[in-house]
Structure 1
């Protein structure tokens, strides 16, 4: 869209114009924090106007490492997508609790 600016002072006038491009901004749907045993598999990143370049990152702003499922350590996970200069980011915390194995116990016979 072209925007025009006019200024008039008596018989003197001036006109300037500039172009405005509206870009669809991605909007990532937030996820709740998670507490799980062993490991966590990422869900599909949902939202509107997503570009297909959305991903899970170890740092905000699409920085750090791209994270892949499953993760086995507790951490904050950042979901990030960008379309031109328009970006969307949400984060959530994944708490991983280690699974402790229990030794097999033999069956026992008890007399009353």
Structure 2
């Protein structure tokens, strides 16, 4: 889920995991990943960062100002690009001091 409060993943539909606020975002990248780069599927911690990996394929990589990169597996490349645009836009709004994207 991406909204003005950031990006987050919910395990089991209710357990909040891997949340990143827009103020924490240095940059976002969309690329194809191999799940084995991260040690397989699921919640993973590796030298590449921390992630919730559902398989090889499109991913959103969030480079944070502090801390490890966070990797989110995404269903399609187009969806990953949309999410990257939203999160990047919210991060720019936050950096400008504005928080409401409608203004």
TM superposition score normalised by structure 2: 0.23
Q: TM-score, normalised by structure 1?
A: 0.22
